Structure 1
Amino acid sequence: MSHHHYIISRRTFAVGVIGAAAAGPRALAQAVTATSEMGPFYPAGYRGETDADLTRVAGAAKRAEGQVIEVVGRVLDKMGNPIRGAQLDIWQANTHGRYDHPQDPAIMPLDPGFQGFARITTGGDGSWKLATIKPGSYDSPIGNRPPHIHMDAIGPNTRAMLQMYFPEDAAANARDSLYKTLGADAPTSVASALGDHRYSWDIVLLEG
């Protein structure tokens, strides 16, 4: 699958949103994920590892810099049923707030120990798991962007561009221009904190 049409700058990207809540799949059954056309710095010709641990790169001298976190979740249809075999392409900025992408104009340092991209597939119960670092915030033409993780979720009949925000950054999220465009649905894009740097985030696609 070619992704070249997703390569855009911070000046032109559009936000994607995901449906999420701590209450479980039945509460999410009617909360289908809101989507957008694309996200920023969609990986272009990435030649590194694509496993679900972004904190380690083969041959790197050390583990990625920053706070290591774990994110778990499920991909569900609109009735709350799990979607097996859904594909998740995941990308984010490193702890310094920089993407490993040729079009990112940021001057913050790259991290050779940070993978930056993962492609994972959900299990039979729709579950997925990611080890990564908490991304840094960064300045952009539309203001400071709070920490967030991008996902391109592909189900049997549906594709959705998504962003995940962190609950401890509520004040920064509320100031974010893109987060505010989500209106009353904005809280559904925030992951649930499980403690010990672990988070939970369920994805609801327009399936079923």
Structure 2
Amino acid sequence: MKKISRRKMIQFGVLSGLASALGVNAGIAKASVLIPTPDETEGPFYPVKDQQDKDADLTQIKGYTAAAQGQHIVVSGQVQDVAGHPLAQATLDIWQADAHGRYHHPRDPNPANPDENFQGWAIIRSDESGLFRFKTVMPGAYPASGSWIRPPHIHFKVSKPGYRVLTTQMYFPAEKLNRSDLLWNAKSERERTAMTAQLVAKQGNLPVYEYNIVLDLLRR
């Protein structure tokens, strides 16, 4: 067998090390790519009547003394791009049903009495680290048809210049009605995971759910 010179061995070692490093780095980079949060239907109950109070506390309407009914919760998370970079000043348009499963919408057919102390709608922004946080109530389930009961969920419309507008729905973990929901069942297992919040802590009596959102670049 022909001997390889010391210089060649050194060159080979350097090149092999470089290739190995590039391979590892490429693997890490590939693994760090996030899937964009899946789209979901906006639904028929996006607010049509403007309101003054659209802040991050949906449990208390400005000027009202009583708080919203139901289990109060906190939802927090981070808006990111697919590379995992935080996205500052993203706009989050949030709306949901109250604890009785009723929306503040004139065409909601749910016979449940609406909670007049529930704000129902918020428009907030992520901070400089892409973080957001709001207080709300656990939304109630409601009938979408005679045989279809929608599980508790929160609607999001998230936007930032340079990124595709995302309209989606956040689901709750360990919710039995998820398994029979037509929209939920239309998603893959990976998509369901991306659309489901995680119960991460308790703040006093308030359950805290984490829900991270990934935006995709606007394609031109």
Instruction: Report the TM-score, using the length of structure 2 for normalisation.
Output: 0.78
Deviation track 1:48-94 (CA, whole Å, cap 9, x = no partner) reads 41100000012323100000000000110010101111000000000
Please identify the structure whose Cα radius of gyration is greater: 2
Q: Which of the pair has the greater relative contact order for Cα pairs under 8 Å at 6+ separation?
A: 1
Greater percentage in helix? 2
For 1:136 and 1:28, the matched residues in 2 are separated by 35
- Does structure 1 conserve the Cα–Cα contact (< 8 Å) formed by 2:141 and 2:150? yes
RMSD: 1.8
Gap runs ≥5 in structure 2: 1-29
Residue equivalent to 1:151: 156
2:168 is equivalent to residue 162 of structure 1: yes
Given residue 94 of structure 1, which amino acid in structure 2 is its aligned partner? D
- Does structure 1 conserve the Cα–Cα contact (< 8 Å) formed by 2:170 and 2:197? yes
Deviation track 1:128-169 (CA, whole Å, cap 9, x = no partner) reads 001000000011126000100000000222201010111131
State the aligned residue count: 182
Alpha-carbon distance, 1:30 to partner: 2.4
Deviation track 1:13-41 (CA, whole Å, cap 9, x = no partner) reads xxxxxxxxxxxxx9773211121463331
For 1:28 and 1:119, the matched residues in 2 are separated by 30
Residue equivalent to 2:7: none
Residue equivalent to 1:206: 216
Instruction: Report the TM-score, using the length of structure 1 for normalisation.
Output: 0.82
Cα 1:32–1:144, aligned 2, differ >3 Å: closer, same or farther? same
2:50 is equivalent to residue 40 of structure 1: no
Gap runs ≥5 in structure 1: 1-25
Residue equivalent to 1:18: none
For 1:123 and 1:203, the matched residues in 2 are separated by 14
Residue equivalent to 2:88: 84
